[in-house]
Amino acid sequence: MWRTLPWRSLGAAGGVGLLLAGLSRVAGGGVSPWLALVLLRAAVLAGAVGLALLLDDPARHPTTPVPVPRPLRQALRAVLVAPLAALWWAVVLCTVPTGIRPPVAGITVEAVATGVLAVAGAVVAVRLTPEPRPGPGVAVGLLLTAVLAALLLPHGWSLFPSPDDPSWSAAHDRWTLVTIGAVAAWALCTGEPLARGTGRGRGGRDTPG
Report mean pLDDT in 10-residue bins for the chain, 209 residues.
84 97 82 94 97 83 62 89 97 94 97 97 92 92 96 92 95 97 94 56 36
* Percent over 90 (pLDDT), the chain: 68
Q: What is the pLDDT of the chain when averaged over all its residues?
A: 87
- Measured at the CA of 114, the angle between CA 173 and CA 4, to 5 degrees, comes to 145
The answer to whether position 205 is within a domain reads no
Strand, helix or coil at 116?
Answer: helix
Structural domain tally of the chain? Answer: 1
Q: Distances from the Cα of 24 to the Cαs of 21, 36, 119, in angstroms?
A: 6, 6, 28
Shortest CA distance to 44 belongs to which of 153, 118, 120? 118
The answer to whether position 175 is within a domain reads yes
Q: Mutual orientation of helices 104-128 and 70-95 as an angle, nearest 10°?
A: 150
The answer to whether position 109 is within a domain reads yes
* Percent over 70 (pLDDT), the chain: 86
The answer to whether position 8 is within a domain reads yes
Distance, first Cα to last Cα, the chain:
17
Range of 93's domain?
A: 2-194
The answer to whether position 199 is within a domain reads no
The answer to whether position 206 is within a domain reads no
| Kind and range of the H or E run holding 20 | helix 7-26
